[in-house]
Structure 1
Amino acid sequence: MLILLSPSKRLDYDSPVTVNTKTTPELIDSSTELADELRELTPKQIASLMGISDELATLNHQRFQDWIAPMPDDATRQAAFAFKGDVYLGLEAETLTAKQLEYAQEHLRILSGLYGVLRPLDGILPYRLEMGTSLKNARGKDLYQFWGTSIAESLNHQLEQTGSKFILNCASNEYFKAVDKKTIAAEIISPVFKDKSKNGDYRVITVYAKKARGTMAAWVIRKKAKTLKKLQQFDGDGYRYDEASSTAAKPVFLRG
């Protein structure tokens, strides 16, 4: 089972990391091409393109100016430890053992606007570039056209390497849209997490669902889950599998 996650806007390059292993992103040449185009943007253009404050635009403008490849080792951080959004509160990469991280390196992929696809231990420089950004580039009108089929081809290679029959899609719609579904040579499973509302019905609450995706990813890594039957046993964060509302492609997990 190959797990997919989205990155996060929140980054952490300050807290200590005890893991020394650091790898190079597979699609680094494309990242360099993209960074070269981003370097030409002014802070004002970045603010408008990304819908962010002038302060954040200035910060990210400087990041693009400083972006180089090969990336200096002392300026990078492993992706699983650099991202700190809700998904990564669930993943808790810092609690994974060396063996579990080794397994994650083979069975977990993080989709990225700048890097395309990342392994947990790939070293990355701090950046902000959401996949849905409408950045005109040499390959097309946006990042989806820029990455084309390259992300799906990378995933297919890893599916073959690990003998995985399923992709566990725990990424957001914005990021999973970057995966060319026609190219993928595996069954795609997209779990749904719902919480009980005050009215007694079950709804997807985004902040909880994001954390649950990370929690499920960590659970699959720890259990080395390979089948849908095993996935149905997931009970992290108090969720439980609900057969009545589930389909093979969209297993539903309820809480409350």
Structure 2
Amino acid sequence: MVLYLLIITIKKANMLIVISPSKTQDFSKSFESKTHTIPVFLKESQELITILKTYKLTDLLHLLKVNKSLAELNYKRIKNWNILHPEKKSKTAVLAFKGGAFKNLKAHTFTTSDFEFSSLHIRILSGLYGLLRPLDYIMPHRLEMGTNISNFYGKNLYKFWNEKITFELNRIAKENNFKTLINLASGEYFKAINTKSIDIKVVNITFMQQQNGAYKVLGVFSKKARGKMVNFIVKNRIIELSELKLFNNDGYVFNPKLSSEQEMVYTR
């Protein structure tokens, strides 16, 4: 009997993409993925929660820079946060976040293979969780990366997360032979990465609108465009940096004149 070995080569993207989380979250179970994963830095998250539990309500109001109602909500969230992340109180990150970027990312349309692709190539930066895979379980929270919370490593979350996140990104890149880190995060969150210590090429993505004869970056529109680009990458299985130039959505097109080796600019 002759045995034939069929080898199927699956093209794997050589890019790792980082995006920002959102303050707006939805923990209803209207749509959920079939599987979930556990955040890499849960012990570190517990450290931060332990610190936050020492804050009085009035202190939390000033720390988070929110009104009394939101301070009370997040005070309860901190008290109820559980490192075990029980299923009834948790949700996968990419489906829980509901800000402008995530509404346009449209994770609720993802197939099982879409989720698998995104889990390998996309990471969500987080003030509480550090670095999340799309299917990582999270609990309701509000802790922006720019928060000045004193901890063992310094006076803010950048000091707390910088080395940890950078090390993990390098580990992922090495393990998967990724060549490029694509920055689709905001400036506030991308600062949590020590780019001088990143072992692979970093490429920033910028979206600009033409106003009064000049191109400008407008935050609200940029958030939406970032989400649309992530959807484009996942749905089309974009595997090469050059293929990102094909992104043409919501009027945005790649602008080679404004772009460089370190930055890809899209204008409309």
Instruction: Bin the TM-score by the shorter chain.
Output: over 0.9
| Residue in 2 that maps onto 1:99 | 113
Deviation at 1:15, TM superposition (A): 5.2
Q: Distance in 2 between matches of 1:139 and 1:59?
A: 27
- What secondary structure, in the 3-state scheme, does the structure 2 residue paired with 1:244 have? coil
- What secondary structure, in the 3-state scheme, does the structure 2 residue paired with 1:90 have? helix
| Residue in 2 that maps onto 1:71 | 85
Which residue, out of 111, 135, 142, partners 2:125?
A: 111
Unmatched tracts of structure 1, length 5 or more: none
Q: Distance in 2 between matches of 1:126 and 1:55?
A: 15
Deviation at 1:183, TM superposition (A): 2.0
Which residue, out of 158, 164, 167, partners 2:172?
A: 158
| Residue in 2 that maps onto 1:234 | 247
1:92-129 Cα shifts (integer Å, max 9, x gaps): 11111110110000000000000000000000000000
> Is the counterpart of residue 169 in structure 1 residue 187 in structure 2?
no
| Residue in 1 that maps onto 2:199 | 185
How many residues align structurally? 254
> Is the counterpart of residue 225 in structure 1 residue 223 in structure 2?
no
Q: Distance in 2 between matches of 1:217 and 1:96?
A: 12
> Which residue identity is paired with 1:204?
V
> Which residue identity is paired with 1:125?
M
Deviation at 1:191, TM superposition (A): 0.9
Q: Distance in 2 between matches of 1:239 and 1:214?
A: 13
| Residue in 1 that maps onto 2:142 | 128
Q: CA RMSD in A?
A: 1.1
1:52-94 Cα shifts (integer Å, max 9, x gaps): 0011111111111111211112110000011000110221111
> Which residue identity is paired with 1:231?
L
> Which residue identity is paired with 1:227?
E
| Residue in 2 that maps onto 1:209 | 222
Q: Distance in 1 between matches of 2:36 and 2:44?
A: 19
1:127-161 Cα shifts (integer Å, max 9, x gaps): 00000000011221111111131101111111122
TM-score by length of structure 1 reads: 0.96
- What secondary structure, in the 3-state scheme, does the structure 1 residue paired with 2:183 have? strand
Q: Which has the larger radius of gyration?
A: 2
100-109 or 229-238, larger mean C-alpha shift: 229-238
Q: Distance in 1 between matches of 2:232 and 2:178?
A: 17
> Is the counterpart of residue 147 in structure 1 residue 161 in structure 2?
yes
| Residue in 1 that maps onto 2:9 | none
Q: Distance in 2 between matches of 1:144 and 1:214?
A: 24
Deviation at 1:228, TM superposition (A): 2.3
> Which residue identity is paired with 2:195?
K
| Residue in 2 that maps onto 1:53 | 67
Q: Distance in 1 between matches of 2:241 and 2:82?
A: 42
TM-score by length of structure 2 reads: 0.92
> Which residue identity is paired with 2:225?
A
Aligned residues: percent identity?
38
> Which residue identity is paired with 1:119?
R
Decide whether the 8 Å contact of 1:164 with 1:226 is kept in 2. Answer: no
1:169-214 Cα shifts (integer Å, max 9, x gaps): 00011100001112211111111101122x2322112111111111
| Residue in 1 that maps onto 2:256 | 243
Deviation at 1:236, TM superposition (A): 2.1
Deviation at 1:237, TM superposition (A): 2.0
- What secondary structure, in the 3-state scheme, does the structure 2 residue paired with 1:243 have? coil
